[in-house]
Amino acid sequence: MLRPLFFVAICALFLNGCGCNFTGARHGVTKIGIDPNWYPLDFGAQNSYVNGFTEELLLEISVQSGIEFERIPANWDALFEGMKLGHYQAILSSLPPYEFNTALYDFSHNFLDSGPVLIVPEGGHQNDLAKMNGAHIGVIAGDPAVLLLQKHEGLIVRNYPTVVALLEAVVNGETDGALLDRVIAGRYVSDLFSGKLRLAGSPLTNAGLHLITMKGKQPMLMGQFNKSLALLKKKKRLPSLIRKWQLGDMA
């Protein structure tokens, strides 16, 4: 009667000692700093949807990775300093992974793309700015996306005061297309302008929201986060969450 118990005890010691990482194994609480306003991005009326999506995504990743997340609200101007001081192990931010930033921080893959996308009429066949020589392209006045248009010769830029005015101009044929942040564009195209406009291709930059840690400090966390994100994409769960929170379709 003692042999089965002895065998179970030996197996338990082996599993605990080998450091094996199984899906669903708990790894303790990981604190993540979040600016709920996502400065310097301005999601406008979409902000609460972005926060709801992010919270549910962390729950999904927790199930996949075994990591329990605790969200710590922080002001944008103290977000990175809080991570440096150890108030949390990571942050969620839109900080671009430029070379001078990657020298200080590690970046996950985007969990929500926010770069500008080309919007065209539903029946239009154009998908590439480079092939739209002579076309009129609208932007919101002051939007830095206009810099992308300057890289393509022959495009005529038109400025509009609001998102609705911009998209109505495309519907009415006043412009051939428009550039707009993917999150905002997705909401309008799937709602107010459903059946009239479509997103033409992927975002034109790699801008987006991602997990950030201090350089080289959290390799296991970063690896688990990216692995879980890839799995959620493969299972179509990530695009499903994006649609659920009315953040458009994932390209």
From-to residues of CATH 3.40.190.10 in the chain: 27-113+207-244, 116-200
Q: Which residue has the higher pLDDT, 162 or 15?
A: 162
The stretch 39-61 carries a mean pLDDT of 94
Query: C-alpha 58: how far from its chain's center?
Result: 12
Identify whether the C-beta of residue 131 lies closer than 8 Å to the C-beta of residue 73: no
The position carrying tokens 């709920």 is: 36
Determine whether 174 is exposed, middle or buried from the number of CB atoms within 10 Å of its CB (0-12, 13-18, 19+).
Answer: middle
User: Nearest CA to 210 among 230, 226, 196?
Assistant: 226
The stretch 215-244 carries a mean pLDDT of 96
Which CATH superfamily does the domain covering 116-200 fall into?
Answer: Periplasmic binding protein-like II (3.40.190.10)
Give the pLDDT confidence of 130-156 residue by residue, as tens digits.
889 999 999 999 998 999 998 888 999
Peptide bond into 219 cis (omega under 30): no
**What is the reported pLDDT for 246?**
85
Report the sign of the C-alpha dihedral through residues 181, 186, 191, 193, in that order.
Answer: positive
Identify whether the C-beta of residue 205 lies closer than 8 Å to the C-beta of residue 211: no
The stretch 31-44 carries a mean pLDDT of 93
**What is the reported pLDDT for 201?**
84
User: Nearest CA to 121 among 18, 193, 73, 31?
Assistant: 193
The stretch 103-131 carries a mean pLDDT of 93
Looking at domain 27-113+207-244, does it have CATH number 3.40.190.10? yes
This prediction has a pTM of 0.82
Q: Which of 12-26, 61-75, 136-150, 237-251 has the lowest mean pLDDT?
A: 12-26
Supply 11's token pair: 């197996």
